Structure 1
Amino acid sequence: MMTYEKAEAAVRPLLSEKRFYHSVCVSHEAEHLARRYGADPEQARLAGILHDIMKDLPGDEQLKLMERFGIILTDLEHAQKKLWHAILGAAYIEKVLKVRDAGLICAVRYHTTGRADMTLLEKVIFLADFISADRDFPGVEDLRKKAYISMDSAIVEGMIFTIRELAEHNQPIHPDTIQAYNQLVLAGRSAEILP
């Protein structure tokens, strides 16, 4: 069974000090969000510390490991190197660290893109990564407040930020992000219409 201490020990040598600090911040934020919304705080903490485990690995090494693990990237994923660490990270924690918790593996896998039908843990990690204490971008303070009022609204706002950023730089947007965004927006509209 993977403990937080074991996960932290596995992550630390693979990450820069800055990235490790970010992972610790995400872990703490995930624990708080989990408590607020009824997810498992320990599982959230663990997913938080593990979410960027492959982020600092050079791109060519990420590709080699993905090939070794039998991961086949779509053309869009291949073109978007910023997505690789999440895809590889999920496989790495399963195959190398022997994590057997499918929910935890998926939380790592989808922390950058989101997806349709996100689990509560996936939402917690997606949002914790966006609003962790080390993040500093215009609007982050408001987003942090919103995160504890309405998780889905905060996620939609985070996705809008990401989609806008990608579009402004003429970058493709992963279909998982589009599907998650559409689903959350439609669900939010339904919630406003229905009592």
Structure 2
Amino acid sequence: MSIAEYKKLIKSMMSENRYNHCVNVSKESVKLAKRYGGDEEKAAIAGILHDITKEMPKEEQLQIMLDSGIILDDIQKNAPKLWHGISGSVYIKKHLGIEDEDILNAVCYHTTGRAGMSLLEKIIFVADFTSEERTYKGVATMRKKSRKSLEDAMLYGFKFTFSDLSSRELAIHPDELACYNEIVLNNPTKGKSK
């Protein structure tokens, strides 16, 4: 399928606001792919499809995962906001015939991140935070960081996410912590005790 066909499909599956977000994430993903030497076509596809199941009823998302043999961990069971990445990757493989593991993983982990992320996975993760319509406090800083280093932008995004989750006393998924720790430990200027 072409990007135009993917756009037509997702437009029928979500609200206008969610559709616009997906279009903007796709555009931002292509910009980041150009900047960092990523595959622009894969970035466009993963960006447009990253939220494909986000507005599906939770029961449908759960069924998609169960039908594929996915067993949710305790944190995932209690955090339905994480389901759309997992169910989305299953959906695009099963219903759209996308077999590219990099695209599937980019969709699957765009909310949590994980240790060992590919360039495409990082691009989609950051583009989701920095797409054109985003207006949260700190988005300008996040965008500025994304132009210098995907990893710096990701760390900034994790600070935002961890602060939000901990302030509401919600669990932080181990994939998020593993991704954060990996970036900190692999960056010589970060993670040094003062």
TM-score (norm 2): 0.95
| Paired position in structure 2 for 1:179 | 178
Q: Deviations over 1:37-72 (max 9, x none)?
A: 000111101100000000000112211222222221
Secondary structure in 1 aligned to 2:46? helix
The superposition leaves residues 8-45 of structure 1 with CA deviations (integer Å, 9 ceiling, x where unpaired) of 22211111111000000100000000000000111101
How far apart, CA to CA, are the structure 1 residues paired with 2:74 and 2:142?
Answer: 32
- The unaligned stretches of length 5 or more in structure 2 are none
2-structure distance, mates of 1:192, 1:93: 37
Aligned to 2:44: 45
TM-score w.r.t. the length of structure 1 is: 0.94
Paired with 1:137 and 1:191, the residues of 2 have a C-alpha distance of: 25
Q: Distance in 2 between matches of 1:88 and 1:181?
A: 23
Tell me by how many angstroms 1:192 deviates. Answer: 9.8
Change (3 A) 1:57 1:179: same
* Structure 1: gaps spanning 5 or more residues: none
Q: For the residues of structure 1 that align with 2:190 and 2:142, how far apart are their CA atoms?
A: 20
Structure 1 residue aligned with 2:73: 74
Q: In the TM superposition, what whole-angstrom CA distance separates every residue of 1:134-189 from its partner, at most 9, and x where no partner exists?
A: 11111101110110011111111101110111011000001000000000011112
Q: Is the 8 A contact 2:185 2:191 kept in 1?
A: no
CA distance in 2, matches of 1:143, 1:81: 25
Does the alignment pair 1:60 with 2:59? yes
Contact 2:43/2:120 (<8 A) preserved: yes
Deviating beyond 4 angstroms after TM superposition, the runs of 4 or more aligned structure 1 residues are: 190-193
**Quick one: percent identity of the two aligned structures?**
45
Report the alpha carbon displacement of residue 190 of structure 1 after superposing the two structures with TM.
5.9
Partner of 2:138: 139
Q: How many residues are matched?
A: 192
